[in-house]
Amino acid sequence: MPNPLLPPLATAAWVTAALPERRRALAALADPRRAQSQLGDEILRLHAESEYLRAHGVRPGEGWERARDSLPPRRYDELAPWIDRIAAGEQGVLTGRSAAARIDRFEPSSGSTAAKKLIPSNPAGRAALARGVSAWIGSLYLRHPRLIGGRAYWSISPAIPTTRTAGGLPVGFQEDSAYLGGLSAWLVDQAQAAPGAVSRLQDLAAWRQATLHFLLAAGDLRLISVWSPSFLSLILDRLRLEWEPALRLLHDGAVVEGLRLPASPRRARALGAVAPDAVERIWPKLGLVSCWADGEAAPGARALMARLPGVTMQPKGLLATEGLVSWPLGAQHVAASRVCVIELLGADGRVSALHELSEGDEGAVVITTAAGLWRVRLGDRVVVTGRVGQTPTLRFLGREDKVVDLRGEKLSDAFVAGVLARLCPDAAFRLLAPEGDDPPRYTLFIEGAYAPSPGELDAALAENPHYGWCRRLGQLGPAEVVRIGPGGPEAWVHEAQARGQRLGDIKPAALSALKDWRARLNLRQN
């Protein structure tokens, strides 16, 4: 039988280990220019002999504030030829050749309708991410000390099989705790409600069964950390649907794909008198849920928290496969100035460093990382909401690079997200997608009590002058609104999984380029 004292002791030890980095991160808030310059200098020294820096005329010993002018902001596609060489087995291309600098694996990107991208990873990059996680964790548990008293559930997605590049480098995700390294990774595993082995289950049904089992067994659950709120909502939906079988499994135990699910007959009997939607009785000590809550995740986050009475929600910062951009500090998301070099590309083409930003500034995120991504555009748009010390706080607006352009209308995800947030802010699911061919039109698939009229939707989309022009010319047909039954979020998740995304990483979106959503969704048309 597991020692009930181990999870709180492991959590306390992890938080204690995180406190020194938290102190350094808080100190850095006073001078973001210095923090970013020092980090940029460290990255340049680490990769001073890389072919990329030589090709751009950056000399060894050159400081970041001067070198950045020689390194133009790039989209991933522009770096792809360099990354392809690393995948083929070359080293010293984007990074140095030391043990910390060498690329030792790739992660597939997520959240894009484009083909899968390979994001380089190395020990230095993972160490930088661990710094950001430590700053967040130290602050989170100091602000909510009661969370230390029990276990936590950290999003564990079903495994995606690891492949290898032509050069032999692995392509795939590690367990989340692996990014912390060493003692911290071990401590996190001891405090987990679900063991890391769950992430190695490749069969979705087996993963779901194991996840429900370990969550139900965790009567001391204090914290749930997921990425998309729909991830947790789908777990709660499945719990309601499979309540009786899940309780029988909890009582008897089982072995699923080689993973032992321990029997907990006492816990099963206690839950037998509880309704499956009474979350406050299933996990009476649950205190906080951390998930995305900005952009298109906002409606899903509100719907999720309505199911969790008395539980605090902490919106997550901005974390892309490429790097950590911001981390939660109280109610703000402060720029991660000790993790990667962060800049914003404005609509006027000017690239601003962190210390140059003012409240209200909007732009596309550009980052430089210890894993060899040099001034890469993430495709995410953010707005500066204020400052902590002198460091900007950021809020995610939407994607800049998801544009559907059938007839010259150039609809972007960020624009559509703003339209839908205004027209139907409380919808449980909302997705705009093209349909038809002669002429094509845009259809809003929506789940919720209220839906805008087609005329309202068409007028709002016409605020984009390109869309309005295409409508006036007859290049696009009038917009349509289709009400759907429950199942929209799950259909979106299934489609994203088919593109190779991890379940826990799937982001809600306002816009899809796919034309077959009627076939993917359970519809009832007005």
Range of the domain at 12: 6-18+146-167+175-315
The 10s digit of each residue's pLDDT in 390-401 is 999 999 988 776
Q: Quick one: 161 and 301 in the same domain?
A: yes
Q: Residue 522: its pLDDT value, please?
A: 57
Residue 111, pLDDT > 50, answer no
Give the confidence band of 115 by pLDDT, cuts at 50, 70, 90. very low
Which of 12-21, 330-339, 465-474 is predicted least confidently? 465-474
Q: Residue 160: its pLDDT value, please?
A: 66
* CB-CB neighbours of 150 under 10 Å: 22
Question: Per the structure, how many domains does the chain have?
Answer: 3
Which of 179-183, 219-223, 468-472 is predicted least confidently? 179-183
Q: Quick one: 299 and 341 in the same domain?
A: no
Q: Quick one: 375 and 407 in the same domain?
A: no
The 10s digit of each residue's pLDDT in 477-499 is 999 999 988 777 777 777 776 66
Query: Residue range 3-32: average pLDDT?
Result: 93
Strand 223-225 relative to strand 152-154, pairing: parallel
140 within some domain: no
Residue 362: both structure tokens together: 């909007």
Q: Residue 321: its pLDDT value, please?
A: 84
Largest CA distance in the chain: 71
Q: Quick one: 332 and 421 in the same domain?
A: no
490 within some domain: yes
Q: Residue 5: its pLDDT value, please?
A: 81
Residue 289: both structure tokens together: 């849920």
139 within some domain: no
* CA dist., res. 49 & res. 53, Å (int): 7
Query: Residue range 317-323: average pLDDT?
Result: 90
Q: Quick one: 411 and 476 in the same domain?
A: yes
Strand 323-324 relative to strand 319-320, pairing: antiparallel
Cβ proximity of 211 and 235 under 8 Å: yes
Among candidate residues 399, 431, 459, the one where a domain is terminated: 399
Residue 518: both structure tokens together: 């009627």
The 10s digit of each residue's pLDDT in 39-81 is 999 999 999 999 999 999 999 999 999 999 999 999 998 999 9
More confident residue, 163 or 49: 49
* CA dist., res. 57 & res. 79, Å (int): 17
- The DSSP call for residue 74 is B
Q: Residue 180: its pLDDT value, please?
A: 60
Q: Can you state the angle between helices 229-241 and 243-252, rounded to 10 degrees?
A: 80
Query: Residue range 465-474: average pLDDT?
Result: 80
Q: Residue 112: its pLDDT value, please?
A: 35
In the predicted model, what is the mean pLDDT of the chain? 89
Can you give the CATH number for the domain in which 431 is found? 3.30.300
- Percent of the chain residues past pLDDT 90, beyond the cut: 63
Query: Residue range 400-412: average pLDDT?
Result: 78
Helix, strand counts (H, E) of the chain: 18, 24
Angle at 123 between CA 119 and CA 127, to 5 degrees: 100
Q: Quick one: 91 and 106 in the same domain?
A: yes
Q: Residue 138: its pLDDT value, please?
A: 96
Q: Which of 128, 72, 182 is nearest to 370 (CA)?
A: 128
**DSSP helix/strand/coil, 396:** strand
Q: Quick one: 155 and 260 in the same domain?
A: yes
Query: Residue range 11-38: average pLDDT?
Result: 96
302 within some domain: yes
Give the confidence band of 181 by pLDDT, cuts at 50, 70, 90. low
Give the confidence band of 469 by pLDDT, cuts at 50, 70, 90. confident
321 within some domain: no
Q: Quick one: 296 and 192 in the same domain?
A: yes
Which of 197-211, 273-287, 323-337 is predicted least confidently? 197-211
Q: pTM for this one?
A: 0.81
Query: Phi and psi (nearest 5°) for 211?
Result: -60, -50
Q: Quick one: 275 and 359 in the same domain?
A: no
Residue 404: both structure tokens together: 């559907």
Residue 277: both structure tokens together: 């939607």
Q: Residue 190: its pLDDT value, please?
A: 83
Q: Quick one: 159 and 283 in the same domain?
A: yes
Which of 28-37, 54-63, 125-134, 232-241 is predicted least confidently? 232-241
**DSSP helix/strand/coil, 177:** helix
The 10s digit of each residue's pLDDT in 229-263 is 878 888 899 999 999 999 999 999 999 999 999 99
Q: Quick one: 215 and 311 in the same domain?
A: yes
More confident residue, 504 or 356: 356
Query: Residue range 403-426: average pLDDT?
Result: 86
Among candidate residues 315, 340, 358, the one where a domain is terminated: 315
70 within some domain: yes
130 within some domain: no
Residue 176, pLDDT > 60, answer no
Q: Residue 332: its pLDDT value, please?
A: 94
129 within some domain: no
Q: Quick one: 31 and 73 in the same domain?
A: yes
Among candidate residues 399, 418, 450, the one where a domain is terminated: 399
